[in-house]
Amino acid sequence: MPYRICKTIEIENGHMLTHHPDKCRFPHGHSRKVEIVIEADDLDANGMVCDFKIVKDAVGDYLDTFDHALCVNTQDPMFSTLQNVYGERIIPFADTEPTTEVLAKTFFDACKKELADYVARKDTRYQLRPNVRLVRVRVWETSSSWAEYEA
């Protein structure tokens, strides 16, 4: 069985679900926890899967783009207005509801890419071994509700 670690990054993030039949169709926010689980079959020379700082360094800037931002389906009638007023703080989801499940996959795909890019970098204080794998991303919407995606 492989060794696993989890790094949690917290963001304040909003969304609106255009097709939702109730209150979720209106803009609302969540204090989200994003759990990034990675694994390796063996430990590095320091006895770690990798240093937790690597995960934050690799994906922190990406996740920060979602902090204090509103995720919106581009089909929403207010999408253009919101984007014109709030610019980059409106994150478009092309013809897709930005549910927590969708965010989990979005974050998984981005984290996988960012971690692979980090492996190739030579300008880092900590090295990430190529055999370290992303297992899953879990996104907490509330203290009692989460969604996750894994390959």
Q: Report the domain count for the chain.
A: 1
Q: Could you report the per-residue pLDDT of 123-138, keeping only the tens digit for each?
A: 988 999 999 999 999 9
Q: Could you report the per-residue pLDDT of 71-120, keeping only the tens digit for each?
A: 999 999 999 999 999 999 999 999 999 999 999 999 999 999 999 999 99
Please give the structure tokens belonging to residue 109.
Answer: 């795909």
Q: What is the predicted pLDDT for the residue at 139?
A: 98
Residue 94, domain CATH: 3.30.479.10
Q: Is the pLDDT of residue 54 over 90?
A: yes
Tell me what the pLDDT averaged over the chain comes to.
97
| DSSP letters for the chain | --EEEEEEEEEEEEEE-TT-SSGGGS-EEEEEEEEEEEEESS--TTSSSS-HHHHHHHHHHHHHTTTTEEEEETTSTTHHHHHHHHGGGEEEETTS---HHHHHHHHHHHHHHHHHHHHH-SS-SS---TT-EEEEEEEEEETTEEEEEE-
Q: Residue 42: which domain range?
A: 3-150
